[in-house]
């Protein structure tokens, strides 16, 4: 009893400073004679087929054995006992698997050994968790468009494609086109998942997304747990996606590949509108082998991705006549708010605005930065209809859908992994791995937040992101029944997003608009003009530019202890989340225009034009940013667990556990949130007499 308490105290004290969602497997079972009596002190040896690493233990007084902390892979299980025929059996262990193999020895009559061919049937008699392992054969052979490993999660029952910030191109604060992790597991939201790489955190806490998506060639296998988790699993209530990287072996092995997609070989879809330009290249190589045979191994991997594709969008832009104030062909009547709402007329022509009344900043912007129509009205979809799956603009004139926007989007990524494994003579092992991914891209016409239609040419955005994840884990064999695993992890995601006009084109200053436009060269660009009935014009007002550095430093420790029929496990973790971020919101100004100012009686009576209100400099909504929203957030969280898998019989296991997690509220260590009140609430759009 005193010895048990001492070991338990050691486990708690040793693990506390450093949760242990382990990628290691556990092999357990019993050894019996032909009469089903326990065989005591049988020698059990587990030998890795790839590295030759050996783990040894022996059966206890009840005939039970357990080998925890085993890397997934193929093994040979050898059993021997005095007076019995030696037995050998092939075993395949999967990520985070608890495999029970009960062995029956035969009495030795003469010197011989029994070799069992084939792997035993995997029946989870001592694990209540629900999930599915995606094995190496699936990773290597199933087709993957873009080789995104997350797509293989969809092969697991209960998983399906979802949406939200996790798609990578729907939230300006998480702009990673082509790096999606929006998967719903078991009906949970996509931000309810937890991603692990080699048993350590690979989750970006901002939106609970996958930080680094490793190349399939660098992955041995992974497991998706969908429910009934054991106490050692935590961090989120959705799916637990546990990826194991590939290591070296005693044999040199490698791959080299190139995957090509080209629009020249593809049929033209309806959405292409005759522009099916697309070139996509996936290429890379991997290589691994021994540094010191049976002791030290290496594995390296590189993968590149290049994607260029023409994006086609049908937009609505003002005609040259409308920019000049002539709405006589636009199918609407416009009225003058400064002249008793009399119908506009110039030189006897109705629905024409006096050119002297047109705001010079607006006219300059429309003439210099907005393209002219290039599609004959009536040759495309009707006004207000769906546009490439996106609703059309509302309140458009007779000239709606008059511009076809065809521009190339570009995505470039380069990633790599380096892993070193070392096995000590006593069976201890150390694994060190570092992975990185650099992602750059250009999005020509993203969807403005909360709006419809795409941004016009000249107002696209660039992204420049860099993801890193590395860990060192040490598997220490304290005794044949006591194994400790400790891991230290560093995970970081740096994101930078900026506009096409950044650093080169200060449009706000060129237009002479006062009270907006600050932040330096990186924030150059145009105001955002939301004109009812027309596609959005100007640089995106939401989080452009922005920078964020999401960093997680983590320590984990797990102690596994076999005691009679009990398989005990204790663990704890401590994580530090560091999140500095700054971003511009409406620093160049946001202006929304409706037809209200130019209607017959100031009501929604079907008259008026938002573009006419724009030309007169009469916005319905004006917003600007003061200062630079920024923060230096910090957070720490800790967790601990204790669990017991009590094997009552060969086919019955009772699993009990307790887990506790604590997460500190986010704290800003440098800046204070404030509300600003302007002494002057007027933001003038140029020099028009009608600015308010």
Tell me the mean pLDDT in the region 192-200.
91
Share the mean pLDDT of the chain.
Answer: 85
**Which range (282-286, 574-578, 653-657) has the least confidence?**
653-657
pLDDT at 419 over 60: yes
- Alpha carbon dihedral 382, 384, 388, 389, in 10-degree steps, equals -130
Tell me the mean pLDDT in the region 288-312.
94
More confident residue, 104 or 650: 104
How does pLDDT run across 494-535, given as a tens digit for each residue?
999 999 999 999 999 999 998 888 888 999 999 999 999 899
How does pLDDT run across 74-133, given as a tens digit for each residue?
999 999 999 899 999 999 998 888 889 999 999 886 555 556 655 555 555 555 556 678
More confident residue, 312 or 477: 477
Confidence at 561, pLDDT banded by 50, 70, 90: very high
The upper half-sphere exposure of residue 290, i.e. CA atoms within 13 Å in the direction of its Cβ, equals 12
User: Given this model, what pLDDT does residue 301 score?
Assistant: 97
User: Given this model, what pLDDT does residue 672 score?
Assistant: 62
Q: Are 667 and 688 in contact (CB under 8 A)?
A: no
User: Given this model, what pLDDT does residue 277 score?
Assistant: 82
More confident residue, 382 or 26: 26
The upper half-sphere exposure of residue 110, i.e. CA atoms within 13 Å in the direction of its Cβ, equals 0
Tell me the mean pLDDT in the region 609-638.
91
User: Given this model, what pLDDT does residue 622 score?
Assistant: 92
**Which range (180-184, 300-304, 351-355) has the least confidence?**
180-184
Tell me the mean pLDDT in the region 476-502.
94
**Per DSSP, which regions of 351-501 are E strands?**
386-387, 390-391, 403-423, 429-443, 461-479, 482-499
How does pLDDT run across 31-70, given as a tens digit for each residue?
999 988 999 999 999 999 999 999 999 999 999 999 998 9
User: Given this model, what pLDDT does residue 451 score?
Assistant: 47
How does pLDDT run across 375-403, given as a tens digit for each residue?
876 555 656 554 444 445 555 566 788 88
Supply φ then ψ for residue 263, to 5 degrees.
Answer: -60, -25
Residues 6+ apart with CB under 8 A from 89: 76, 77, 79, 101, 103, 115, 116, 120
pLDDT at 474 over 80: yes
More confident residue, 422 or 14: 422
Confidence at 670, pLDDT banded by 50, 70, 90: confident
Q: Are 96 and 24 in contact (CB under 8 A)?
A: yes
pLDDT at 591 over 90: yes
* Cα–Cα distance list, 227 to 126, 152, 198, 233, 236 (Å): 15, 18, 20, 10, 11
User: Given this model, what pLDDT does residue 169 score?
Assistant: 86
User: Given this model, what pLDDT does residue 690 score?
Assistant: 34
User: Given this model, what pLDDT does residue 525 score?
Assistant: 93
Three-point CA angle 189, 190, 193, nearest 5°: 100
Q: Which two tokens stand for residue 281?
A: 């290249």
User: Given this model, what pLDDT does residue 492 score?
Assistant: 96
pTM of the model: 0.85
User: Given this model, what pLDDT does residue 311 score?
Assistant: 85
User: Given this model, what pLDDT does residue 691 score?
Assistant: 34
């Amino acid at each position: 009893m005193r010895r048990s308490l001492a070991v338990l105290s050691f486990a708690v004290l040793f693990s506390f400073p450093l949760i242990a969602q382990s990628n290691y497997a556990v092999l357990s079972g019993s050894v019996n004679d032909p009469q089903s009596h326990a065989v005591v002190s049988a020698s059990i040896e587990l030998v890795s087929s790839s590295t030759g690493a050996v783990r040894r233990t022996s059966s206890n007084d009840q005939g039970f054995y357990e080998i925890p902390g085993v890397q997934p892979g193929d093994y040979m299980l050898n059993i021997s006992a005095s007076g019995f025929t030696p037995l050998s059996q092939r075993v395949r262990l999967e990520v985070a698997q608890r495999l029970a193999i009960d062995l029956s020895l035969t009495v030795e009559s003469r010197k011989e050994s029994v070799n069992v061919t084939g792997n035993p049937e995997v029946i989870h008699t001592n694990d209540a968790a629900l999930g599915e392992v995606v094995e190496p054969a699936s990773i290597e052979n199933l087709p993957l468009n873009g080789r995104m490993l997350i797509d293989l999660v969809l092969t697991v029952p209960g998983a399906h494609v979802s949406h939200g910030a996790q798609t990578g191109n729907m939230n300006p604060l998480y702009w990673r086109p082509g790096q999606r992790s929006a998967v719903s597991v078991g009906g949970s939201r996509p931000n309810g998942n937890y991603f692990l790489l080699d048993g350590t955190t690979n989750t970006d806490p901002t939106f609970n997304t996958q930080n680094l998506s490793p190349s399939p060639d660098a992955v041995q296998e992974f497991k998706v747990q969908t429910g009934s988790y054991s106490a050692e699993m935590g961090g989120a209530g959705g799916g637990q996606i546990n990826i194991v990287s590939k290591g070296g072996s005693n044999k040199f092995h490698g791959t080299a590949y190139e995957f090509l997609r080209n629009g020249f070989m593809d049929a033209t879809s309806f959405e292409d509108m005759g522009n099916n330009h697309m070139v996509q290249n996936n290429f890379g190589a991997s290589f691994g082998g021994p540094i010191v045979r049976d002791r030290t191994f290496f594995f390296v991997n590189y993968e590149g991705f290049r994607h260029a594709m023409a994006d086609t969008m049908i937009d609505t832009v003002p005609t040259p006549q409308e920019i000049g104030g002539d709405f006589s062909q636009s199918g609407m009547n416009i009225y003058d708010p400064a002249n008793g709402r009399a119908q506009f007329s110039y030189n006897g022509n109705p629905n024409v605005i006096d050119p002297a009344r047109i705001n010079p900043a607006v006219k300059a912007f429309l003439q210099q930065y907005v393209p002219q129509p290039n599609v004959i009205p009536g040759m495309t979809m009707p006004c207000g209809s769906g546009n490439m799956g996106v609703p059309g603009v509302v309140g458009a004139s007779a000239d709606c859908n008059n511009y076809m926007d065809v521009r190339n989007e570009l995505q470039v990524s380069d990633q790599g992994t380096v892993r070193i494994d070392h096995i000590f003579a006593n069976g201890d092992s150390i694994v060190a791995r570092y992975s990185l991914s650099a992602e750059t891209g250009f999005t020509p016409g993203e969807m403005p937040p909360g709006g419809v239609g795409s941004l016009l040419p000249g107002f696209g955005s660039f992204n420049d992101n860099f993801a890193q994840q590395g860990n060192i884990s040490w598997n220490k064999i304290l005794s044949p029944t006591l194994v400790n695993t400790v891991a230290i992890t560093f995970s970081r995601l740096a994101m930078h997003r900026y506009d096409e006009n950044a650093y080169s084109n200060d449009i706000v200053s060129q237009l002479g608009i006062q009270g907006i436009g600050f932040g330096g060269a990186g924030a150059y660009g145009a105001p955002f003009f939301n004109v009812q009935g027309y596609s959005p014009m100007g640089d995106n007002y939401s989080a452009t530019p922005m920078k964020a550095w999401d960093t997680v430093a983590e320590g984990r420790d797990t102690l596994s202890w076999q005691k009679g029929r009990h398989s005990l496990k204790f663990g704890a973790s401590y994580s530090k989340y560091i999140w500095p971020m700054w971003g511009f919101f409406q620093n160049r100004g946001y202006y929304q225009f409706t037809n209200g100012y130019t209607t017959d009686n100031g009501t929604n009576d079907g008259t008026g034009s938002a573009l006419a209100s724009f030309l007169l400099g009469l916005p319905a909504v004006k917003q600007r940013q003061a200062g630079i929203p920024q923060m230096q957030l910090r957070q720490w969280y800790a967790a601990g667990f204790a669990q017991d898998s009590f094997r009552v019989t060969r086919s019955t296991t009772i699993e009990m556990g307790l887990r506790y997690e604590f997460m500190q509220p986010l704290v800003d260590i440098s800046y204070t949130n404030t509300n600003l009140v302007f002494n002057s609430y007027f933001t003038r759009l140029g020099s028009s007499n009608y600015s308010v």
